[in-house]
Amino acid sequence: MIDLTTLTIARARKKLDAKEFSAVELTQAYLDEIKKKNKELNAYLEVYDDVLDQAKKADELIASGESHPLLGIPLAIKDVILIKGRKVSAASKILENYVASYDATVISKLKKQGVIFLGRTNTDEFAMGGSTENSAYGVTKNPYDTRRVAGGSSGGSVVAVAANLALGALGSDTGGSVREPAAFCGIVGFKPTYGRMSRHGLIAMGSSLDCIGQIAKTTEDAKIIYDAINGYDVLDSTSIKDTTYPKASLKKVIGVPWDLVNGEGVNSEVKENFKESIKKLETLGFKIKDIHIQNLDTALATYYIIMPAESSTNLARFDGVRYGLHKDGKNLLEDYKLTKGAGFGKEVRRRILIGAYVLSAGYYDAYYGKAQAVREILKKEFAKAFADVDMIATPTAPFVAWKIGEKSDPVSVYLADIFTITANMVGVPAVSIPSGFSKVEGKDLPLGIQFMAPHGGENLLFEVGKKFEEMR
């Protein structure tokens, strides 16, 4: 019997190589858990029918003496990342039953490692949301309290790992979509520097914000996945080379924007937990510095202009002509209207409308142009802050996971992103690490602490993450 609750990728690698269990046995253990739990949690939209065949091939490679960090490791993949010959729907009716014609670059790299792909996981439609309530295929539920959201948009991937339905997973992070659900479900969510991870084969939402993120139980496991798939890719014009940024060294100074942390809308227990986490960091020898980043209070509003604008442009391609859902009208314009009306959900339509508005003649300069100007100011402010500190720490989310259906006002959901969106706006790497629990209605609900590092500073995040986990 394999104990999945304590199993990590690092431990599984050693046990597979030592023949303590086979890839088939490990995979079967996850399939058994999926069968038991997925109906209630709704983490997977599809479990692949060739999973055990993939595991058999991995066992053959292990038997031949081959070894890679992820060989024979069962992973879950968010339903926005293309795997050739498999369905990918972005949890939308407009792409229902669409089959990918090529592999995303990160998938090609995982295939070379001998990864076992368990299935595709649920997400907010086109990754638009912070709760996985916006999926066309039902809500993903939080394993700590199934009345509550898992967070989003990578809720399915996060729940797969948190509920022991996968050993690790890939998600996408445009404004916190890996980190926020990781905090809500008590695991690690990692977002790399923009351009460090190829976006080729990722269904685009906000092209200047999107990152493929790593989801795991520990920082060490997140690093194993990151190491396997990062790197320059000629197929992604925004991809950067390893030499783009100098490797940062840990000086043990962490900046905290206390004015933001102590601001309105942040739950008192979240503040208290964060202060306790800061004390732990001080016992580890870190110096804590109070920092003020000008215009940080404008970041959320700026994000919710840029992201819908880019989303609106990216989603224009889903017109029912080349692929996906198609509805027949009296003419081409009616075809478009009927197809998009039937295929896109409410949140996607809302963001398309906002994006089209801010990009329209007469409003472009007033909204989109100003938002881009503010973004450039924020980048300079963060660069200035990182000249004095190694990292910036905040809570990951301002409150715990809310009850399903509780936040009917979309703006209240958008406010969950106040700590996470800045990393995407300025392109720096960030990680959410479990920091404790808050007892709500008799349930222990997870909390997370977020660390942001300068561009290319992933090594700093892995280092502090490992140290922080050892204190738990």
Give catalytic residue positions. 78, 153, 177
- Do residues 229 and 197 touch, judged by C-beta distance below 8 A? yes
DSSP string, 264-330: TT--HHHHHHHHHHHHHHHHTTPEEEE---TTGGGHHHHHHHHHHHHHHHHGGG-SSSSSS-----S
Is residue 311 reached through a cis peptide bond, with omega within 30 degrees of 0 on the bond before it? no
- Which DSSP category does 443 fall into? E
Phi, psi of 349, deg, nearest 5: -60, -40
In the structure encoding, which two tokens stand for residue 165, read together? 């339905």
Q: Give the residue among 415, 409, 402 at the shortest CA–CA distance from 263.
A: 415
Cβ neighbours for 267, distance < 8 A, ≥ 6 positions apart: 398, 399, 400, 438
- Do residues 194 and 409 touch, judged by C-beta distance below 8 A? no
Reading phi first (left if > 0) and then psi (alpha if -120 to 50, else beta), residue 195 is in: left
Q: How many Cβ atoms from other residues are within 10 Å of residue 261's Cβ?
A: 18
3-state secondary structure of 431: strand
Distances (CA, A) of 306 to 31, 113, 286, 368, 369: 40, 36, 35, 6, 9
Q: Where are the beta strands (DSSP E) in 316-374?
A: none
